[in-house]
């Protein structure tokens, strides 16, 4: 993003880079982004500031994707994903349930308060777990994997103590 290799990113460079990524923020928004990232207020973003800002920005994008994904599962928009809705989604995605687990398995893993449906909070937790697994396996980069492999969750400390 640092096109003149000055070691810092200026407003122009940031604006250009964002456009390259298909992000069409208006100048005032880019300025706000720069201000937010420019921790030492020298008007440019240096490497450390850039890393911090990028991570923050990715987090926001992820939240947005997550919400969109949740809504695409939640057909009747009541804020919960039921087993029926999940089954429908699995069909649409064309997921192999023998390998990735059935809707029932997925709900069992994701349903932390055991009310039989997945609310947004549970969905978030489930996706976080999935994406950290996916990034470790480093396949399907950039494509948010909509469903986890619940039977092979190796991490602990997620509230599921059973083995
Ligand atoms: Ca700075
Ligand atoms: Ca629903
Ligand atoms: Ca639940």
User: Domain holding 44: CATH number?
Assistant: 1.10.238.10
Query: Is residue 58, in this structure, part of any structural domain at all?
Result: yes
Q: List phi, psi (to 5°) of 9.
A: -110, 125
Shared domain for 1 and 51, answered yes or no, is yes
Shared domain for 53 and 87, answered yes or no, is no
Residue 77 near residue 41, CB atoms below 8 Å: no
CA angle 153–106–140, rounded 5-degree value: 65
Q: Tell the residue number behind the tokens 């009541």, with chain if given.
A: 78
pLDDT in single tens digits along all 163 residues of the chain: 676 777 898 988 888 888 888 877 888 888 888 888 899 999 998 988 888 878 887 888 888 888 988 998 999 999 999 999 999 888 887 877 777 778 898 899 999 999 999 999 999 998 887 766 666 655 444 445 555 555 544 444 544 545 5
Can you tell me whether residue 123 is helix, strand or coil?
helix
Ligand 2 centre distance from Cα of residue 86 (Å): 9
Shared domain for 96 and 46, answered yes or no, is no
Which residue range forms the structural domain that includes residue 54?
Answer: 1-62
Which ligand is closest to the CA of 86, given by its number? Answer: 2
Query: Is residue 150, in this structure, part of any structural domain at all?
Result: no
Ligand 3 centre distance from Cα of residue 57 (Å): 29
Which ligand is closest to the CA of 10, given by its number? Answer: 1
Q: Of 62, 82, 104, which marks where a domain is finished?
A: 62
Burial of 8 (0-12, 13-18, 19+ CB in 10 A): middle
**Angstrom distance (rounded) from CA 1 to CA 10:** 9
């Amino acid at each position: 993003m640092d096109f003149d290799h000055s070691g810092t990113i200026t407003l122009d460079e940031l604006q250009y880079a964002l456009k390259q990524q298909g992000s069409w923020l208006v100048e005032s928004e880019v300025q706000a982004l720069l201000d937010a990232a420019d921790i030492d207020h020298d008007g440019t973003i240096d490497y450390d500031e850039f890393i911090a800002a990028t991570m923050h920005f990715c987090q926001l994008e992820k939240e947005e994707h997550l919400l969109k994904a949740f809504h695409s599962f939640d057909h009747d928009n009541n804020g919960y994903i039921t087993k029926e809705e999940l089954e429908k989604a699995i069909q649409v995605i064309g997921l192999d349930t023998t390998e990735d687990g059935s809707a029932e398995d997925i709900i069992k893993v994701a349903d932390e308060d055991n009310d039989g449906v997945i609310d947004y909070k549970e969905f978030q937790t489930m996706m976080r777990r999935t994406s950290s697994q996916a990034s470790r396996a480093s396949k399907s980069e950039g494509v948010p994997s909509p469903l986890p492999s619940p039977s092979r969750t190796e991490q602990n400390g997620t509230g599921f103590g059973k083995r």
